[in-house]
Amino acid sequence: MSRKEKILKAAQKTAQEARDAAQRHRESERRKRARREFQTPEHRHCVICWAPIPLDSDPAICSEATCAEKQEKREASRKRLTVMLYLFPGIAILLVMLQLMGASG
Ligand SMILES: [Zn+2]
- The string of pLDDT tens digits covering residues 6-28 is 888 888 888 888 888 888 888 88
Determine the distance separating the centroid of ligand 1 and the alpha carbon of 58, expressed in angstroms. Answer: 13
Determine the distance separating the centroid of ligand 1 and the alpha carbon of 31, expressed in angstroms. Answer: 12
Determine the distance separating the centroid of ligand 1 and the alpha carbon of 18, expressed in angstroms. Answer: 29
Determine the distance separating the centroid of ligand 1 and the alpha carbon of 46, expressed in angstroms. Answer: 5
With a CB cutoff of 8 Å and minimum separation 6, the contacts of 68 are: 61
User: Do 103 and 72 lie in a common domain?
Assistant: yes
Alpha carbons 88 and 35: distance in angstroms, whole number: 44
Determine the distance separating the centroid of ligand 1 and the alpha carbon of 105, expressed in angstroms. Answer: 59
pLDDT at 38 over 60: no
What is the reported pLDDT for 79? 96
User: Do 50 and 33 lie in a common domain?
Assistant: no
Percent of the chain's residues with pLDDT above 90: 48
* Top-ranked range on mean pLDDT: pick from 36-50, 56-70, 78-92: 78-92
Determine the distance separating the centroid of ligand 1 and the alpha carbon of 44, expressed in angstroms. Answer: 11
User: Do 78 and 52 lie in a common domain?
Assistant: yes
Element (H, E) at 54: none
Q: How many CB atoms lie within 10 A of CB 71?
A: 18
Determine the distance separating the centroid of ligand 1 and the alpha carbon of 36, expressed in angstroms. Answer: 15
Determine the distance separating the centroid of ligand 1 and the alpha carbon of 71, expressed in angstroms. Answer: 9
**In which band, very low, low, confident or very high, does the pLDDT at 1 lie, cut at 50, 70 and 90?**
low
Task: Compute the average pLDDT of residues 57-81.
Answer: 94
H helices, E strands: number in the chain: 2, 2
Domain boundaries, position 22: 1-37
pLDDT at 103 over 90: no
User: Do 31 and 48 lie in a common domain?
Assistant: no
User: Do 49 and 79 lie in a common domain?
Assistant: yes
Alpha carbons 40 and 52: distance in angstroms, whole number: 9
